[in-house]
Structure 1
């Protein structure tokens, strides 16, 4: 995922004036903050792999939207995703009160689309913390809050503001979706099992401050062997292949395991934020189906 300064991104995302047609989002993981050569490589690889196909599907939706269909439903339909999960378990998730949904992050932008689609079925108001290219689609901006896990002053300022807005959402009984790993899962080799990096304690702060219940969600599967190999060789090629990974999943099953809702009272004894987020990570990964 692109981890660039958020203010520049937000400037690009300002809506057009009413008299003008809305601009199309920038379809690339290349960022203006990247060195020129890195931007060139990312854009070239994207053009040769999955980006044109994904962009075409998005443009088809923009040009011929289905009446009364929300963006998340349209995305799942256009990508022909067959979501395999326990519907009764998902329907049992509390419909009101502060709720934080945590999930692993094996695929990238698809994880955000799928979890947003599911959340929208049970919670009309929710926010997703993301630093992905998903933020650039104007249809979903009301649902998204930018987060930046880079170690910089700008990232810190962004995250402080996002934390404030996320807490406001939770205080009003809303739901917040977080991928606490902050980046797409990676395997130690092309043939290994992909896992998230250590989850960031940022999520613990939200849960404790809002006294929120937590629902863990585990996405089954992982990106291709090529992606895992590239991730261990070059961050540039890793980012360049993310659209290819989306294209790879078109027309496939996506399996998710929904965990039991954890009331805040069952987490309150974990005073240390690192212990709390590690505990939630362990619970989430325990949901995976044994191979």
Structure 2
């Protein structure tokens, strides 16, 4: 099956809308305030030109405009609006592999770090609207999408509340989308490839009796992104500096084509003791990358 994303119209209502503790305004996202809320000392130490640079590469102005212009839209409706804004052409194959499945755990590669997740939510959401996606907790600052997300900390220890919410979701009938690598793909020996897939999704599939849908997503970031990652690694810097550029990388994806391929479901019962969980994770990863042969 192939489809191209449908265009959605924007609301003209100019009223502010309250979303939990956030109020959607023309400046919903304030980079300096986000830094201050997480590390007051760092916020005081950072000079103005650094803050301004962060505002630029994080596209604070454009993100705020998107949030505000679509302030009446939430969840999957907001997902459609974002795809529309980026004028992305999404091609989907293997949709029959999820049509008759329920309570699945979708495991996908993570080539982009932004638009790939949005595209997956749209593709799956058109068949199964009841979805949740574990994401970097920074994305919770996007109020229009918050209802689709489960917060997973990438900057520190996972909160007890986040763990409980993840377990509660897995125990429910909601379909869960998951990036087992936890990070956007890197360039490895000249190829765009995920880093090691963590075994968590195998453990959760078994304990919550969820079949796994192996899913391949095409795409790549700019050479700059991979170069920064390589330099950081060379100097032994642990902080994931390149992550700061993912918003900018997403805006570079305008007018690009993405292909999503859903593979055949893998029964959770297959993940037996013949392999360790980490070996099963590697096995599923290999299946995912083999799907690109269909392109």
What range describes the TM-score normalised by the shorter chain of this pair? 0.7 to 0.9
Q: Distance in 2 between matches of 1:165 and 1:123?
A: 19
Bigger Cα displacement from structure 2, 25-34 vs 220-229: 25-34
Please state how far the C-alpha of 1:79 moved relative to its aligned partner.
Answer: 1.4
Distance 1:144 1:55, change over 3 A: same
Match of 2:85 in 1: 78
Q: Distance in 2 between matches of 1:286 and 1:148?
A: 30
Residue deviations 1:137-179 (CA, integer Å, cap 9, x gap): 22222221112356x6x4263553143223222xx3x210111
Alignment of 1:142 with 2:142, yes or no, is no
Match of 2:115 in 1: 110
Higher relative strand content: 2
Local SS of the residue matching 1:288: helix
Q: Distance in 2 between matches of 1:149 and 1:68?
A: 22
Local SS of the residue matching 1:199: coil
* Cα root mean square deviation, aligned: 3.3
Alignment of 1:163 with 2:158, yes or no, is no
Match of 1:179 in 2: 179
User: Matched residue pairs, number?
Assistant: 265
Q: Distance in 2 between matches of 1:187 and 1:42?
A: 28
In the TM superposition, 1:1-291 aligns within 5 A as: 15-16=20-21, 21-22=23-24, 25-26=28-29, 28=31, 31-32=35-36, 33=38, 35-36=42-43, 43-49=51-57, 51=59, 52-62=61-71, 70-86=77-93, 89-131=94-136, 133-148=138-153, 154-155=157-158, 157-158=160-161, 160-169=163-172, 172=173, 174-188=174-188, 192-234=190-232, 235=239, 237-268=241-272, 272-289=276-293
TM-score, structure 1 normalization: 0.77
Local SS of the residue matching 1:218: strand
Distance 1:68 1:283, change over 3 A: closer
Match of 1:5 in 2: none
Note the residue ranges of structure 1 that are not aligned, 5 or more in a row.
1-12
